[in-house]
Amino acid sequence: MINLEAPKKAGALINQAYQAAAEVFRPISRKYDSAEHTYPAELDMFAALLDGLNSSGEGGAGAAGVRRSNDKEDKKPSNRNGANLNVVLGTIEMCWGDVGLLLSMPRQGLGNAAIGSVATDEQIKRFGKTWAAMAITEPGCGSDSAAITTTAKLDGDHYVINGEKIFVTSGQRADSVVVWATLAKSMGKAAIKSFFVEKGTPGFEVVRVEHKLGIRASDTAVLRFENCRVPKENLLGTPDVDVNKSFAGVMQTFDNTRPLVAAMGVGVARAALEETKRILTEAGVTIDYDKPPNTQHAAAAAFIQLEADYESAYLLTLESAWMADNRKPNSLQASMAKAKAGRSVVDITLRCVELAGVVGYTEETLLEKWARDAKILDIFEGTQQIQQLIVARRILGKTSAELK
Of 330, 310, 345, 343, nearest in space to 391 by CA: 330
8-state DSSP, 68: P
DSSP 3-state assignment of 117? Answer: helix
DSSP 3-state assignment of 312? Answer: helix
- For residues 371 and 380, give the distance between their C-alpha atoms in angstroms, rounded to a whole number: 16
Helices (H), 36-141: 47-54, 83-97, 99-103, 110-118, 121-127
DSSP helix, strand, coil percent of the chain (3-state; round to 5): 50, 15, 35
For residues 219, 220, 224, 229, the Cα torsion angle rounded to the nearest 10 degrees is 60
Task: Please indicate whether residue 226 is annotated as part of the active site.
Answer: no
- Of 93, 164, 368, 381, the active-site residue reads 381
Cβ-contact 340, 311 below 8 angstroms: no
Which residues have CB under 8 Å from 70's CB, separation 6+?
A: none
* Integer Rg of the chain from CA: 21
Known catalytic residues are: 381
